[in-house]
Structure 1
Amino acid sequence: MELLQGGRTGQIWRDGDTVIRPAGAWTPTTHRFLRHLGRKGFPAAPQPIQITGDDQEVVSYVAGRVCEDLSDPLIGSERMLMSAARLLRDFHTASQGFLESDDDAQIWMLPPQEPREIVCHGDYAPYNVATVNQEAVGIIDFDTAHPAPRLWDLAYAVYRWAPLSDPANPSVAFGLDDQLRRAEIFCNAYGATMEERRGLPEMVCRRLQALADFMLARAAAGDEIFAEDVDAGDARLYLNDIGYIGIHRDRLLKALS
């Protein structure tokens, strides 16, 4: 077996055409959702295979390169941004209907958000999108999937792909002008409505505040993974980016409209 790099270091393995990952209380719901995507003809998500007795899940391997480094030039190419936005749109379309058709008890890792329009991925970022030849072709890691408005997912995706993060952050290699250009490309390719564009800055801030609150609560409850993230400054970074987006809200709105 091959140890895969990225999140949850040392816990995710590839075995041929399958991936073995830690399972949680939400995994049965996630597997039912993945089967729904398959029935809808969406080919870019893993296929659920089984949940083992030792709290592991097995899903099909999604081929392609993921980008852990948000400053990777590949992420910012127009071709990549457009394909990533269209893949997200297609995922949202395929997601429709699950909440209404699934009769079993639904458990999600992240709390649902109102209105519950669709099941959002929850972490649609370059490190969770498989790419081939500078195009987004697959989505991985559905642990954070949960019911929410489409804009909840779109806003966080734009935050990650632009990325709408303070250039003072060492992991951000792009200034505001590049960020706004990339945000515009992403929203145009997704087909965002004018209403969604006007609501995007506030929704990014809501999403980041919810993420920071969730991380801090899990860390306080003794979750070692989230405690490590908090110690590394991740929650503080999200809160700082809320301020950064607030400062540049008008320029962002102008770029998107």
Structure 2
Amino acid sequence: MTREHVLQEAAHRTVVRVGDTVRRPVQPWTPAVHALLRHLQDVGFTRAPRVRGVDGRGREVLEYLPGESGPAGWAKVVPDAGLTAFARLLRDYHQAVREFRPPPGLLWCTGAGTADEDEPVCHGDFGPWNVVWNGGEPTGLLDFDYARPAPPLHDVAYALEYAAPFRPDTECVRWLGYAGPPDRRRRLELFADAYGLTDTTGLVDAVIAVQLTTRDLVRSLAAQGHQPQADQVRAGLLDALARRAAWSRAHRHLFTR
């Protein structure tokens, strides 16, 4: 029997590696995510895990992508090269899902929904921790649980919160791998250029809007009893998310000319 190696263990979810696969508990939106991942495979996007099905214990089975992920990702986006590679990965993902039209009736984390030509299926949780890195190169994209039809700007704004970053200087230096206060305006412009945007107007407002939307989604999922959101709300995450949005409003001058 192939041994299971625990990758993530929590009261609500245990994720294990078995050989070249990852096994995770299924969610109500797992069929929708699998449809998305199969589309990515079909169009040749090689940086998302392939779907291997469901095992005998009812867990989804995905391809294991080797490399560094999780907390190690924060330091990877600090250098300019890592920041631009991060933005280009998002651009490449959005290009890969441009033609994806989910079958009707699928349930996403936000409920039922269909994508049209102007609203592809966004990743929904495009942070440095959900990228697999080999050296300074992003070679994989993980955790599509928050995927759902949304404008591409949603993913751009979500990524910028963590890559600009929209965080105090002390947090940037102590936890996120910066040697000193980051030049947030320059980093926002560098990300936007690498992604392919020709104008940064409105990006700060978009980040704040996504911060508030994320808070609403966490509250909604917690009210439905989903984990980890239920535990996160009990631990005070909603207040923390509100404080992040307030910080962004108060410090918007750090991101604009």
Q: Flag whether TM exceeds 0.5 (same fold).
A: yes
Query: TM-score with structure 2 length normalisation?
Result: 0.86
CA distance in 1, matches of 2:145, 2:10: 12
Over 3 Å counting, the alpha-carbon distance change for 1:46 and 1:69 in structure 2 is closer
- Which residue identity is paired with 1:178? D
1:94, distance to aligned residue in structure 2 (A): 0.2
- Corresponding residue SS for 1:76: coil
1:7, distance to aligned residue in structure 2 (A): 7.7
Partner of 2:154: 152
Partner of 1:35: 38
1:59 paired with 2:49, answer no
Query: TM-score with structure 1 length normalisation?
Result: 0.86
Over 3 Å counting, the alpha-carbon distance change for 1:232 and 1:162 in structure 2 is farther
- Which residue identity is paired with 2:29? W
Conservation of the 8 A alpha-carbon contact between 2:222 and 2:229? yes
CA distance in 2, matches of 1:201, 1:229: 26
- Corresponding residue SS for 2:138: strand
Partner of 1:162: 164
Over 3 Å counting, the alpha-carbon distance change for 1:223 and 1:94 in structure 2 is closer
1:150, distance to aligned residue in structure 2 (A): 0.7
Partner of 2:255: 252
| Structure 2 unmatched runs, 5+ | none
Identity %: 34
Partner of 2:119: 117
Conservation of the 8 A alpha-carbon contact between 1:35 and 1:48? yes
Conservation of the 8 A alpha-carbon contact between 1:121 and 1:144? yes
The one of 147, 166, 191 aligned to 1:186: 191
CA distance in 1, matches of 2:230, 2:184: 30
Partner of 1:4: 7
1:178, distance to aligned residue in structure 2 (A): 3.1
> Which range moved further: 31-40 or 175-184?
175-184
> Which range moved further: 210-219 or 123-132?
210-219
Over 3 Å counting, the alpha-carbon distance change for 1:41 and 1:96 in structure 2 is same
CA distance in 2, matches of 1:203, 1:54: 41
Conservation of the 8 A alpha-carbon contact between 1:44 and 1:139? yes
1:211 paired with 2:237, answer no
Partner of 2:93: 91
- Corresponding residue SS for 2:140: strand
- Which residue identity is paired with 1:130? V
CA distance in 1, matches of 2:110, 2:167: 23
CA distance in 1, matches of 2:99, 2:44: 13
Conservation of the 8 A alpha-carbon contact between 2:37 and 2:51? yes
Partner of 1:202: 205
- Which residue identity is paired with 1:95? V
Over 3 Å counting, the alpha-carbon distance change for 1:45 and 1:224 in structure 2 is closer
1:73, distance to aligned residue in structure 2 (A): 3.4
- Which residue identity is paired with 1:192? L
- Corresponding residue SS for 2:202: helix
CA distance in 2, matches of 1:47, 1:41: 11
Conservation of the 8 A alpha-carbon contact between 1:167 and 1:173? no
Query: 1:31-71: per-residue Cα shift (whole Å, max 9, x none)?
Result: 1111111111111001011034644110101111014267x
Conservation of the 8 A alpha-carbon contact between 2:184 and 2:255? no
1:183, distance to aligned residue in structure 2 (A): 2.2
- Which residue identity is paired with 1:239? A
1:87, distance to aligned residue in structure 2 (A): 0.7
- Corresponding residue SS for 1:58: strand
CA distance in 1, matches of 2:35, 2:115: 21
CA distance in 1, matches of 2:243, 2:72: 19
Over 3 Å counting, the alpha-carbon distance change for 1:152 and 1:4 in structure 2 is same
Conservation of the 8 A alpha-carbon contact between 2:75 and 2:176? no
CA distance in 2, matches of 1:242, 1:37: 33
The one of 219, 233, 244 aligned to 1:241: 244
Over 3 Å counting, the alpha-carbon distance change for 1:187 and 1:6 in structure 2 is farther
Partner of 1:80: 82
